[in-house]
Amino acid sequence: MIKNLNKIIQNTLFIVVLLTIVVYLVFPFYWAVNSSFKTEAQLQMSPTTIVPRNIESNSFDLTFKNYINIFKNDQFVRGMLNSTIVSISTTILSLLSGSFAAFALGKLRFKGKKITLYTILAMTMFPQITVLSGLYAVINTLNIDAIPSMILSYMIFTLPFTTWVMTSFFRELPKELMQSAQVDGATPFQTFYMILLPLTAPALVTTGLLAFIQAWNEYLFALTFTSIDPAARTIPVAIALFSGEVTRQIPYGEIMAAAVVVTIPIVLLVFIFQKKIVAGLTAGAVKG
């Protein structure tokens, strides 16, 4: 009897904790979606409503005006294009450079390998703000355009992470694969891209997606580097600088609609590559 009661209490507590976590994680996104379908008048209703409602009749009433307005906004559309270019370029360059470096660090023997790994790890610990001013001075001195400067600066943080994670995957691959390839006459480069690299596909997808998300959502560097080139603004900066129809009006509905739209590509990528992501996150957890 006591055991059954303890089991019921444990299950109840587990469900309560699980529901609390789900609500905590999902509610902000739901509220953004809910607000994106409201007019400015509905957003100012007090008390606020869980779903869009008509002010007079109190009936369910949603509007797509905010979504229509953001796609009519050239600043938003240009920001989406700029973010796509910057994020994809950063991801591809990080994976290319990181996979080469990870292969060398994980499979080749050379002096200073441990020091190199610890240096790469240390690079991920620096806050962005600590390198921003110096990096901005370098970008100005070299007269690099805003979009290339963002791509290069984002790699300061995505490349060390990509290299560190990929190194662990290359290290776990059996050394017999390289030995067999060498016996068959394959060069180290052929061994890398024809044999070992395809086996690290889960790691490539996982690290690539994380690098893409970081570049897609980055705000501080984008705001700084595009201050003198508004046409190069990425989507986080474009949303932050949304203006209302009148002075000092903050268009919360359009901001929420834009937030929902820019989240969709990330959600789609996760759904498309979810099997690879799970394989990449769990690789090495079980041996044998």
What pLDDT was estimated at residue 287?
Answer: 46
Residues 6+ apart with CB under 8 A from 65: 39, 253
Between CA 249 and CA 266 the distance in angstroms is 29
The predicted model gives 241-252 an average pLDDT of: 72
What share of the chain in percent tops pLDDT 70? 92
Q: Is the dihedral of CA 35, 41, 44, 47 positive or negative?
A: negative
Q: Is the pLDDT of residue 246 over 70?
A: no
Between CA 43 and CA 52 the distance in angstroms is 9
What pLDDT was estimated at residue 282?
Answer: 58
pLDDT band of residue 198 (cuts 50, 70, 90) is: confident
What pLDDT was estimated at residue 285?
Answer: 47
Domain segments of the chain: what residues? 1-63, 64-287
Phi, psi of 112 (to 5 degrees): 80, 15
Between CA 194 and CA 105 the distance in angstroms is 18
Reported as a single tens digit per residue, the pLDDT across 1-49 is 677 778 888 889 999 999 999 999 899 889 999 989 988 888 887 777 8
The CATH number of 64-287 is: 1.10.3720.10
Please, what is the angle between helix 146-172 and helix 128-142, to 10°? Answer: 130
Q: Is the pLDDT of residue 133 over 90?
A: no
